[in-house]
């Protein structure tokens, strides 16, 4: 059993409990009262690097990262620094997140918000929208092709954008075949938790240039952003470095708007 399998098993248990308390039909009925999802693509696709700044308390690989007693304070600091979107972990067992964090952040900022979780069922997509998410994460490694397509279509029907996450060549081909406009390359292998900063440069050439590419995980500072931009990234998704920085606003600002020397590389 990989780490990813183990995490998804826990996610499914928690999900079964929530679904028993609030069946899908009732959850769907709530969507009528939710403000429409924001479109993150203009900001993400704009020239110069964009930052998707993450609210993350802990992780299976690193353990405790930051207390974050009030996610709104952190998210507002990210927004003030020009974050193109804010990612909120909602997985509880391993990452210490919650849907309450998502809703609080959504209510406090006017930039698009990503529900960062291990999405494996339709219920979670509807749930994301009901709690205000503008984007959802779809991890290709956790989904078969039919489920991936169904969840991607459902997210779009609800007005949301999916960040489709890949880690190797085969997953990248599946994301491209899906037509996903927003593709994230995770430097961390969710099956082993190992980081490999060279994965982005290997996979980026496999993705057509009309898709927006996001480099995820292990971004330690401006130097890493510059490298990923030179390799074709439009955006970076940053958690640990930002939650540990004493001045997250300045940190987001410093990583934003960077262009590849000599022009875009793809």
| Residues with a known catalytic role | 54, 56, 116, 165, 186, 216-217
Among 40, 218, 232, 248, binds ligand IGP (CB under 6 A): 218
Token pair of 137 as six digits = 């994460």
Among 161, 217, 249, 256, binds ligand IGP (CB under 6 A): 217
Instruction: Between 34 and 245, name the residue whose CB sits nearer to ligand IGP.
Output: 245
Among 8, 79, 182, 219, binds ligand IGP (CB under 6 A): 219
CA dihedral 192, 173, 166, 196 (to 10 degrees): 60
Quote the least distance from Cβ 211 to ligand IGP, whole Å. 17
Q: Label each residue of 161-218 as H, E or C.
A: EEEEEECCHHHHHHHHHHCCCEEEEECECCCCCCECCCHHHHHHHHCCCCCEEEEECC
Tell me if 171 contacts ligand IGP by CB under 6 A.
Answer: no
Residue number, nearest CB to ligand IGP: 239
Token pair of 129 as six digits = 């929208």
Quote the least distance from Cβ 160 to ligand IGP, whole Å. 17
Chain-centroid distance of CA 171 in Å reads 17
First to last CA, the chain: 37
Residue in this structure with the two tokens 């972990």, named with its chain if needed: 89
Please count the residues of this chain forming the interface with ligand IGP, following the rule CB under 6 A: 15
User: Which residues contact ligand IGP (rule: CB under 6 A)?
Assistant: 54, 56, 116, 139, 165, 186, 216-219, 237-241
């Amino acid at each position: 059993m990989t780490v990813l399998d183990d995490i998804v098993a826990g996610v499914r248990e928690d999900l079964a409990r929530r679904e028993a308390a609030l069946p899908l039909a009732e959850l769907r009925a709530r969507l009528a009262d939710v403000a429409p999802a924001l479109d993150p693509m203009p900001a993400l696709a704009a020239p110069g690097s964009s930052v998707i700044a993450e609210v993350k308390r802990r992780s299976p690989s690193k353990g405790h990262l930051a207390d974050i007693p009030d996610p709104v304070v952190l998210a507002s600091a990210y927004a003030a620094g020009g974050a193109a979107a804010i990612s909120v972990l909602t997985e509880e067992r391993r990452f210490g997140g919650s849907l309450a964090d998502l809703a609080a952040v959504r209510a406090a900022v006017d930039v698009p918000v990503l529900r960062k979780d291990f999405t494996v069922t339709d219920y979670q997509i509807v749930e994301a929208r009901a709690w205000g998410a503008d984007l959802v994460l779809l991890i290709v490694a956790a989904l078969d092709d039919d489920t991936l397509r169904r969840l991607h279509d459902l997210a779009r029907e609800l007005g949301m954008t999916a960040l489709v996450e890949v880690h190797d060549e085969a997953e990248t081909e599946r994301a491209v075949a899906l037509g996903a406009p927003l593709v994230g390359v995770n430097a961390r292998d969710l099956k082993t938790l190992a980081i490999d900063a060279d994965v982005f440069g290997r996979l980026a050439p496999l993705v057509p240039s009309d898709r927006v590419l996001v480099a995820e995980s292990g971004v330690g500072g401006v130097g890493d952003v510059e490298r990923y931009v030179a390799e074709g990234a439009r955006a970076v998704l940053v958690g640990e470095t930002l939650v540990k920085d004493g001045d997250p606003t300045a940190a987001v600002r410093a990583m934003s708007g960077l262009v590849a020397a000599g022009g875009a590389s793809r």
